[in-house]
Structure 1
């Protein structure tokens, strides 16, 4: 058995695409953990697996490097769209995720945009463990929470450089308030149209960026009345743009770039 893969990134938010169209999906947690090992495997923030789909160009399944799953990944979704748009020569494509059908399209300057769907704002849908106001949950710092298909917890701070992310991030990710764990954001507002974002990613640690986290952070800032409906989100690796009118879908736009392609062999998979 071999696995053909493509490594890509979005402002340094790196992901791997495995195209299994026309094949059975054999990817499991053990394979994901081996592939995701940055020392012995390929390494990635997320893995996206493409399979056949009747009502969309492809079905996408997403994995974290620790072998856990997630319903959506904004960066990897745009990477798959980049691949499909070049295959077909079209200007837009629809993919299916556990989040639902997502429409992706070319934007100016070779950027890729994706309709990430509506955010979930009710406490049961995030989810959090008990009923409370998702604009200010009962944690020190009163963060706001929402879901973009995965949970997001946003702290607004004066300066992200002062935050000890390695210490605070894991504590909040695994807090009993979040039964499915959560992504953790630290947001410094530069002005109503621009924020500085640093992230502790559920199941992944500190990434250079994250499309879905950029969306979650912007949504929570807009809900708080701190941000406009179009926000440039500056992560460690670069910028994304997030648009939300406060009612409908969230739109994520940013660059994606191919890094390299390769083949993962059966021999490598059998090593412990």
Structure 2
């Protein structure tokens, strides 16, 4: 492996940054250690997530693999889906492409001013689908708090699965929450057997919220697309916002719309935002050799 080289793209969605490897053209046996080496911001390329483009498994345009910076594989990433959607739309010349992911298929289309819209599918809202380790009949606000007894700093999050598990705490001021401290504790809380993405949301108006997220396996991030989708669903379920809103994250704004329910179940979630190509290059072979050693 020491002599091998691989082309990469560096992309971002609102500052949530990715290293993209096209394994359709340059196969690579990707291990946790290699993923960590590439994602390392000091000795590697540096990214929040490592994304692979692979041959489709059941009729889509491509399969998207996702690994967090800790090397662990995850099921979904909305910002990455927009980036891969942009690449596949350009590559195929189609008006719509289907991206297969471990969480299911995602459809990407072009929106106004160069933005990309992805259909993130329908949310999962039952306690055992999120999943939680205890049964809660109402997942709009579960019994979970952090802070002094009787005067918690955060409490009663809404929980949603949008391809991965999320807990959203509604607070008066997202900047007043030390998410770097509380995020890791809550991510690993016993209620979340698969860990969880932890977000704090501040409702500015019925069509606008602010959001900060501690991402499972990646830490604080400038933007998390699935968190923006989950927060929109949680806000609508608590009657705090309308179904189409602007979600302002540290990296910028997303437009998220939770479509009305149908006779087949919950409505799908549409997310629209930028997908930027920052640069491209070739991986240093020592990253692959050192990780495999």
TM-score, structure 2 length as denominator?
A: 0.90
Do residues 41 (structure 1) and 55 (structure 2) align?
Answer: no
1:126 and 1:214 map into 2 onto residues whose CA distance is 16
**Aligned ranges 1:73-222 → 2 under 5 Å:** 73-132=77-136, 133-140=138-145, 141-222=155-236
Q: 1:187-235: per-residue Cα shift (whole Å, max 9, x none)?
A: 0000010001011111111111111111111111111111101010000
RMSD in angstroms over aligned alpha carbons?
Answer: 1.2
Q: Measure the CA separation in 1 of the matches of 2:238 and 2:28.
A: 42
**Could you tell me how far 1:269 is from its partner in structure 2?**
2.2
Q: Which residue of 1 aligns with 2:273?
A: 254
- Partners of 1:32 and 1:65 within 8 A in 2: yes
- Which range moved further: 47-56 or 234-243? 47-56
**1:92 Cα shift?**
1.3
Structure 2 SS opposite 1:262: strand
1:85-116 alpha-carbon deviations (Å, 9 max, x no partner): 11222221111111212110000111100000
How far does the alpha carbon of each residue in 1:232-272 deviate from its partner, in whole angstroms, 9 at most, with x for none?
A: 00000100011003521100100111111111132232236
Give secondary structure in 1 for the equivalent of 2:132. Answer: coil
Could you tell me how far apart the structure 2 residues matched to 1:2 and 1:138 are?
A: 50
Q: 1:136–1:143: 8 Å Cα contact kept in structure 2?
A: yes
Count of residues paired in the alignment: 272
Post-superposition shift, 1:38?
A: 0.7
Moved segments of 4+, more than 3 Å: 22-25
CA distance in 1, matches of 2:260, 2:186: 26
Aligned equivalents of 1:218, 1:185: Cα separation in 2: 12
Moved more, 215-224 or 19-28: 19-28
Residue 59 of structure 2 corresponds to residue 68 of structure 1: no
User: Under a length normalisation based on structure 1, what TM-score does the superposition of the two structures give?
Assistant: 0.97
In structure 2, distance between residues paired with 1:22 and 1:245: 37
Gaps of 5+ in 1: none
Q: CA deviation at 1:165?
A: 0.8
Match of 1:32 among 7, 32, 35: 35
Q: Secondary structure at the match of 2:239?
A: coil
CA distance in 2, matches of 1:104, 1:261: 23
For the pair 1:265 / 2:284, whether they are aligned, the reply is yes
Q: Is 1:13 the counterpart of 2:16 in the alignment?
A: yes
Preserved CA contact (<8 Å) 2:202 2:209: yes
Larger radius of gyration between Structure 1 and Structure 2: 2
